[in-house]
Amino acid sequence: MSHSHQRSFAARRREGWGMGLYRNTRRSRLAGVCAGIADYWDVAHWVVRLLFIAAFLFTGTLALWTYLAGWLLLAPRPRGESLDGGAQAALHRPMEYDERRHDFRPQSPFRYSESASVRLERAQERLEGALRRVEAMERYVTSRRYRLNKAFSCL
């Protein structure tokens, strides 16, 4: 194996294999492999740990060898990156719009978008809420209290 090939392997490992896949040593129980995979898939850490335990019960040492391979192949998450995958993952994963956070996030194979009817209902609720706020502002601006407050602020 040539030196340049080894360096390429190490560089790809440090870069999260081009997918933003790292071990999460901050939220780890052992080496952070399960926590890192959970961050990448955007699922709860306990779900991946439970799947590992189930795999261990059904496959025995194969699950342990797989965990050890993950320990060796996945680099710890760089200190500057957040726990949700950071900027590296955002560059390599497709993004989707999150209605609740009003922001984009990396797509996850385990998070399904809500149906169109649910999104339409949520948009209608937000529109009705905005309409109620505008009506409340109109009531205030046309009230005697507004004129009194305005007169006091001019003094």
Domain limits, the chain: 3-106, 116-154
Helix/strand/coil (H, E, C) string of the chain?
CCHHHHHHHHHHHHCHHHCCCCECCCCCCCCCHHHHHHHHHCCCHHHHHHHHHHHHHHHCHHHHHHHHHHHHHCCECCCCCCCCCHHHHHHHCCEEEECCCCEEEECCCCCCCCCHHHHHHHHHHHHHHHHHHHHHHHHHHCCHHHHHHHHHHHC
- 116-141 vs 144-154: helix crossing angle, rounded to 10: 60
d(CA 20, CA 90): 8
pLDDT of 38-63, one tens digit each? 877 777 878 888 888 998 899 888 88
pLDDT of 104-129, one tens digit each? 776 666 566 677 788 788 889 999 99
Q: Each residue of 74-89: b (16+ CB within 10 Å) or e?
A: bbebeeebeeebbebb
Confidence class for position 79, pLDDT limits 50, 70, 90: low
